[in-house]
């Protein structure tokens, strides 16, 4: 199939030495008429600085309220190939590990029943098959299910939980992010496939403060690895690093809490002041390692700037003993999440994320409702904000419930 | 919940959606709240309503749609 449209603006995006989505789309267009029209419509959008997609509608597979993101062209006469151009979200395995055979099967589906374009992976984590006609949705769904895959989340539902590669590949992992992510995904299938929330809800699990899933800014609930004991120091290796670089300049002076000191006697860390930011460990991974008492900090409330402005998650549970809760099928975590969803269900309004609800009703009311005591760790910048107002409406001896928090 | 109440509940949900079709988009959460009130005398719980919605969508009597948020509707 020759080139159907002149696309001078898109052609600009093929220049340079990096992979180009335009080059990939052109390759797909060799065999897919849909993608040929896609190039035409995108060029027109670039020229007019205006999108030509309509969203939503009654698009889905039987029984599920999510997993399919409906997209229609508003220029269907001009670009009939993209009249219906839906996205199918496939729940990725924890940590994005695949057998090549599974990938081939998914790719075959995309070439046979869709535009041949994929998104590995969407910002939700899912694999996305792009450019699917309404009539092909059931077929694709049944085929995916036949080799063990399922749809992910979309709409007012739990979105596909995602995690970093964690303990499978990364020595920084403080808990098994892949295991809890998989368990939670299985436990909340209904919440993911049958939208019943006010709006979307996302979990992202990162094994350490490097936060490879960017959960602090993108997940309604961010679960980020941390440790309770001391950073493990190999003083011999510290000396080796010191021969190659200026430790003061690149390590100790960059410590955000200024809790490190390097002298002739070696490296000292005042661990009680360490915020587990990972900086020093990232710079000297052979000399420093996280402590052995690993777990996670649970934070709540981040979101991108859609309805109101952007937000970062705030600390809710400073230390969650993940390994301990794993022995019990993460029951504490599931109950804890249940209380938060109940509060959101009761008091939230349509299209209000949990973080916005907390901002509206006040953190005090929220904590009281879910049965958590206010803690200093919940203050976002304790060192920069000395004016912390305490009220004594919370009973001093109220316990933390049955949580395995340390 | 008796089988009879369950059948009444499912009927009431479909009727609610049908009555307001093209006028109001019912979120599943709204339906749960409406039904809790309507069936308050026959101790129908939130979970009962949720599983009724599940059965109705599994069987295709109701379908999901999306317009800024998810809602329930009748199949075309
Ligand atoms: C010559 C006149 C003034 C001097 C030298 C002065 C000096 C100061 C200083 C040194 C502080 C402490 C700042 C800090 O904690 O970092 C302060 C706080 C404060 N001043 Fe003044 N001040 C003056 C006039 C006023 C006036 C006229 C007002 C109100 C009409 C005022 C209201 C306040 C308030 C409310 C605070 C507390 C700020 C806070 O809590 O953050 N001051 N002042
Ligand atoms: C009738 C006049 C005023 C009233 C009734 C009033 C009342 C208050 C109250 C109740 C607070 C405490 C807020 C809190 O932390 O809970 C406060 C804080 C403060 N007020 Fe006023 N104020 C008045 C005038 C002013 C004026 C004229 C200034 C400055 C020229 C001023 C500057 C401040 C500052 C800087 C704070 C500290 C805010 C903080 O906590 O960081 N106030 N005021
Ligand atoms: S978040 Fe931390 S543990 Fe997870 S992959 Fe990244 S660096 Fe490793
Ligand atoms: S992890 Fe961060 S806060 Fe802790 S000692 Fe290293 S640089 Fe400092």
Chain B partners within 8 Å of A157 (Cβ): 70
> Out of A291-300, A330-339, A397-406, which region has the weakest mean confidence (pLDDT)?
A397-406
pLDDT of residue A400: 47
Q: In CATH, what number is assigned to the domain containing residue A238?
A: 3.30.70.20
Let me know how long chain B is.
76
Please tell me whether residues A240 and A176 are part of one structural domain.
no
Domain that holds residue A355: 162-227+295-397
Residue A144: the pLDDT is: 97
Residue identified by tokens 């009680």 is A272
Estimate the share of chain B in helix, then strand, then coil, as percent rounded to the nearest 5.
60, 10, 30
Segments in chain B below pLDDT 70: none
- pLDDT-above-90 percentage for chain A: 81
Contact A303, A311 (CB under 8 A): yes
Q: How much is the pLDDT for A377?
A: 86
Give A394's pLDDT tier (boundaries 50, 70, 90): low
In a domain, A406, yes or no: no
Residue A235's alpha-carbon distances to A86, A272, A280, A290, in angstroms, are 56, 19, 14, 15
More confident of the two residues A58 and A380? A58
Do A184 and A317 belong together in one domain? Answer: yes
Is there a single domain that holds both residue A303 and residue A214?
yes
Q: Is the minimum distance from the CB of A269 to ligand 4 under 6 angstroms?
A: yes
Q: Within an 8 Å CB–CB cutoff, is residue A63 touching chain B?
A: yes
Residue with tokens 């749960």: B32
Neighbours of A255 (CB within 10 A): 18
CATH number of B3-73: 1.10.10.10
Note whether A194 contacts B53, CB cutoff 8 Å: yes
User: What's the mean pLDDT in A184-200?
Assistant: 95
A126-156 residue pLDDT tens: 999 999 999 999 999 999 999 999 999 999 9
A241, A268: one domain: yes
Structural tokens at position A222: 């961010």
Q: How far is A129 from chain B (nearest CA, A)?
A: 19
Average pLDDT over residues A70-82: 95
Q: How far is the CA of A322 from the centre of ligand 3 (A)?
A: 16
Q: Distance, in angstroms, between B15 CA and closest chain A CA?
A: 19
Report the pLDDT value the prediction gives residue A406, as an integer from 0 to 100. 43
Q: Can you tell me the mean pLDDT for A232-252?
A: 96
Contacts of A63 in chain B (CB under 8 A): 57-58, 60
Q: Which two tokens stand for residue A272?
A: 């009680």
CATH number of the domain residue A327 falls in:
3.30.413.10
Closest to A84 measured CA to CA, from A98, A74, A92: A74
Q: Whose CA is nearest to atom 2 of ligand 4?
A: A277
Confidence of residue A6 (pLDDT cuts 50, 70, 90): very high
Residue for token digits 């710079």?
Answer: A283
Check whether residue A117 and residue A193 sit in a common domain. no
Give the residue with greater pLDDT, A111 vs A310: A111
What are the residue ranges spanned by the domains of chain B? 3-73
Is the pLDDT reported for residue A397 higher than 60?
A: no
Q: Is residue A404 part of a domain?
A: no
Residue A181 located in a structural domain: yes
Among partner residues B27, B63, B66, which is closest to A70 by beta-carbon distance?
B66
Per-residue pLDDT, A119: 94
Q: Say what the pLDDT of residue A231 is.
A: 98
Site to probe by mutation for ligand 3, drawn from A162, A181, A210 as the one with most ligand atoms within 8 Å of Cβ, is: A210
Is A52 within a domain?
yes
Residue A345 and residue A248 share a domain = no
A278: helix, strand or coil: coil
Q: Tell me what ipTM this predicted complex has.
A: 0.86
In chain A, the number of structural domains is 3
pLDDT at A401: 44
> Where are any strands of DSSP class E within A133-235?
162-163, 203-206, 221-227, 232-233
Mean of the pLDDT values across residues A203-225?
Answer: 96
- Averaged pLDDT score across all residues of chain A: 91
A12-66 pLDDT per residue, tens? 999 989 999 999 999 999 988 899 999 999 999 999 999 999 987 788 999 899 9
What is the spatial distance between Cα A180 and Cα A329, in angstroms, rounded to a whole number? Answer: 9
pLDDT at position A389 over 60 = no
Q: Write the burial class of residue A44 (CB in 10 Å: 0-12 exposed, 13-18 middle, 19+ buried).
A: middle
Residue A122 falls within a domain, yes or no?
yes
Mutate to test the interface with B, among A64, A65, A87 (most CBs of B within 10 A): A65
Largest CA distance in chain A: 76
């Amino acid at each position: 199939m020759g080139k159907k449209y002149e696309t001078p603006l898109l052609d600009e995006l093929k220049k340079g030495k990096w992979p180009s989505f335009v080059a990939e789309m052109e390759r797909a267009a060799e065999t897919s008429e849909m993608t040929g029209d896609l190039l035409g419509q995108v060029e027109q959008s670039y020229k007019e600085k205006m999108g030509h997609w309509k969203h939503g509608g009654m698009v889905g597979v039987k029984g599920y309220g999510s997993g399919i993101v409906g997209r229609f062209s508003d220029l269907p006469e001009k670009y009939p190939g993209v009249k219906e151009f839906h996205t199918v979200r496939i729940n990725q395995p924890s940590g994005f590990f695949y057998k090549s055979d599974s990938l081939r099967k998914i790719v075959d589906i995309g070439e046979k029943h869709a535009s041949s374009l994929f998104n590995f992976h969407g910002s939700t984590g899912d694999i996305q098959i792009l450019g699917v006609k309404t009539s092909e949705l059931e077929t694709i769904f049944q085929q995916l299910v036949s080799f063990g895959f399922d749809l992910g989340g979309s709409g007012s539902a739990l979105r596909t939980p995602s995690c970093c590669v964690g303990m499978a590949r990364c020595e920084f992992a403080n808990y098994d992010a892949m295991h809890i992510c998989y368990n939670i995904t299985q436990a909340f299938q209904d919440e993911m496939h049958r939208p019943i929330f006010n709006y979307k809800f996302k979990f992202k699990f990162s094994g350490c403060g490097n936060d490879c899933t960017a959960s602090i800014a993108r997940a309604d609930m961010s679960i980020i690895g941390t440790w309770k004991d001391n950073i493990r120091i190999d003083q011999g290796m510290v000396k080796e690093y010191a021969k190659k670089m200026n430790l003061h300049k690149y390590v100790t002076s960059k410590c955000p809490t200024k809790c490190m000191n390097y002298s002739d006697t070696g490296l000292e860390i005042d661990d009680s002041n360490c915020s587990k930011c990972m900086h020093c460990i990232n710079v000297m991974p052979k000399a420093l390692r996280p402590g052995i008492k690993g777990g996670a900090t649970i934070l709540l409330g981040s979101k991108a700037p859609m309805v109101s402005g952007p937000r970062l998650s705030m600390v809710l549970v400073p230390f969650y003993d993940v390994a301990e809760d794993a022995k019990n099928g993460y029951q504490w975590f599931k109950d804890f999440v249940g209380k938060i969803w109940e509060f959101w269900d009761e008091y939230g309004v349509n299209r209000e994320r949990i973080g916005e609800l907390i901002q509206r009703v006040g953190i005090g009311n929220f904590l009281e409702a879910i049965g958590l005591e206010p803690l200093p760790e919940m203050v976002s910048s304790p060192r920069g904000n000395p004016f912390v107002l305490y009220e004594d409406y919370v009973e001093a001896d109220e316990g933390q419930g049955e949580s395995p928090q340390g | 919940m008796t089988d009879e109440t369950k059948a009444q509940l499912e009927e009431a949900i479909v009727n609610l959606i049908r009555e307001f079709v093209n006028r109001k988009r019912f979120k599943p959460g709204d339906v749960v709240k409406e039904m809790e009130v309507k069936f308050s005398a026959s101790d129908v719980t939130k979970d009962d309503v949720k599983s009724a919605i599940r059965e109705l969508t599994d069987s295709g009597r109701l379908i999901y749609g999306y317009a800024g948020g998810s809602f329930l509707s009748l199949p075309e």
